[in-house]
Structure 1
């Protein structure tokens, strides 16, 4: 290597490469690089990703409010930056009424001057940032109408009040394709109004939202829908989904008393996660699982292992029901006799399954007692097409080893078992390289390699 090459430093790199490096920096750090040299001084202002995070301003001890310093920094950065279009404007902040003018000006600047394609506003961040002694103040009131002046395609809002103009249903926000709302109060009418006002909305995710009694989601355009943590209201009776082009659906901890799915023929991904506790939670899980009857073309299924309880219930699937198109199954499960019988029941429904990913299932309660005839029941796993099994969070218990032995004996088409070993200590979890069991003629040899 010649002396010239050895003497090169970051300043010798092309601006495009330096800009790419800066995209991985929080905006605070990116701005500070302007002090390195004259070459670096203007680079941060050419970034297409502006990420202002209050987490970059360390909490003081004893606690004191440094939000003024943060607001001053954001103000100054937006004044100094040219009004050229950006891809993402992201703000994480602990809102207070006295910062309303600042936040309003930042949002207007991001939408109208910087023409941001994505707008992310998070006013929660983490519990440690919310001081218990602070007098209660209202949430930031997001001015939805400002979107008419921009090209925002992805909108993510956390802990805001959402003010919709009376004409929202006819606003025609054609640029907005993805909407994520977390900790937002919504009425029954606000959701259909939002969908009507965003005719090209492809993705909708609602997390920790409240205020709705009968949620109805109808859209000919919507393709992805995720709902999470709807646990707060006993009067919420029904959720009705009528989206003929929906291909992805996820329920995560939802406590609706009735689930209705219409036009589920395009659904190919179906995800269910309910707290694994008997009683009311199993009832919720079974209501969601029964929606599979309306979604015959699901290929990717992610579900918990409550299947033994389901198949012996009074209202299981029709006897002729099969999930013929499921080729990828993600199952949250244990490996007790109770779990294995449930797993066998699910595999009977999936004759064309090719890949099974097994996640560790945290159980709040012990398994229900099995009848005497099932305690020593020889479990047979029907998996004629299964080629690959991945066992995540493999801790090496006796039940896990017994299950691996069962797979090796019963998997006619099984080509590979990948174990992802972990060691769980009191305060940490250590991950180790995957161990791959590959099938050889008449045996399954152990090799350590990438899956």
Structure 2
């Protein structure tokens, strides 16, 4: 029985790829899935199908989830539609790229140790929600995220922080005006890549 599933496509011929994933998951009987990876181009026509795939992964008790959903237009960006995603005791590693989210209630990722977020907007309230809901988080990586000016990481569990670029797609002209403050007294490793004003 498979313990990991990975799907990937760089084509914008989406219907064929999405149908193949549907067929594969319909035949899969994985009750305890360790890894689930999806790298694909996306548009909003397929929101419900991606929601179903994520539901499949979470109900299979996946521990390591990698979602990379590239889009062409803002109207086609993927937004998590089910807040149950944010209450999950099984996640240990999450990689979320071009996946926008703003849960209504508190996040509860009690066993999450590694979190990578890429190319999305993160405001201060959302960052605080993530940190307070992930008590075992050891490694936080932010790649080209935006929307925040202050990182207040006071959790004693977070030891590794990576900031790789700061890119607001709606503010190309004034990108050098963005100043990022960091308060992270317990980290032991800080990696900063790209242009920042600190």
Interval of TM-score (by shorter of Structure 1 and Structure 2): 0.7 to 0.9
Which residue number corresponds to residue 344 of structure 1? none
* 1:225 correspondence with 2:167: no
1:206 to 133, 138, 142: 142
Partners of 1:111 and 1:150 within 8 A in 2: no
How far the C-alpha of 1:144 sits from its partner, in A, is 5.2
* 1:119 correspondence with 2:58: no
Which residue number corresponds to residue 241 of structure 1? 183
Relative to structure 1, the CA distance from residue 165 to residue 235 in structure 2 (aligned partners, 3 Å threshold; closer, same or farther) is farther
* 1:49 correspondence with 2:8: no
CA distance in 2, matches of 1:144, 1:221: 25
Instruction: For residue 124 of structure 2, give the secondary structure of its aligned residue in structure 1.
Output: coil
Instruction: For residue 208 of structure 1, give the secondary structure of its aligned residue in structure 2.
Output: strand
Partners of 1:228 and 1:253 within 8 A in 2: yes
2:19 to 72, 77, 82: 72
* 1:86 correspondence with 2:33: yes
How far the C-alpha of 1:252 sits from its partner, in A, is 0.4
How far the C-alpha of 1:123 sits from its partner, in A, is 1.3
Give the length in aligned residue pairs: 191
CA distance in 2, matches of 1:199, 1:104: 26
How far the C-alpha of 1:115 sits from its partner, in A, is 1.0
Which residue number corresponds to residue 252 of structure 1? 193
CA distance in 2, matches of 1:180, 1:144: 19
How far the C-alpha of 1:167 sits from its partner, in A, is 2.4
Q: Which has the larger radius of gyration?
A: 1
How far the C-alpha of 1:248 sits from its partner, in A, is 1.8
* 1:183 correspondence with 2:109: no
Partner deviation per Cα, 1:128-186 (whole Å, 9 max, x = no partner): xx66xxx6523111245324245111010111211223323xx3x21111110000110
Which residue number corresponds to residue 138 of structure 1? 76
Instruction: For residue 82 of structure 1, give the secondary structure of its aligned residue in structure 2.
Output: coil
Partner deviation per Cα, 1:53-96 (whole Å, 9 max, x = no partner): 014xxx4xxxxx53111111111111111132121100011111
Instruction: For residue 47 of structure 2, give the secondary structure of its aligned residue in structure 1.
Output: helix
How far the C-alpha of 1:231 sits from its partner, in A, is 5.4
Runs of 4+ in 1 over 6 A off after TM superposition: none
Q: Specify which structure has the higher proportion of helix.
A: 1
Which residue number corresponds to residue 157 of structure 1? 96
CA distance in 2, matches of 1:181, 1:137: 20
Partners of 1:156 and 1:179 within 8 A in 2: yes
Partners of 2:37 and 2:66 within 8 A in 1: yes
RMSD of the alignment, in Å? 2.0
Partner deviation per Cα, 1:32-53 (whole Å, 9 max, x = no partner): xxxxxxxxxxxxxx22110000
**TM, length-normalised to structure 2:** 0.87
Relative to structure 1, the CA distance from residue 229 to residue 146 in structure 2 (aligned partners, 3 Å threshold; closer, same or farther) is same
CA distance in 1, matches of 2:163, 2:153: 11
Query: Gapped runs of 5+ residues in structure 1?
Result: 1-45, 60-64, 125-129, 259-451
Partners of 1:158 and 1:184 within 8 A in 2: yes
Which residue number corresponds to residue 106 of structure 2? 167
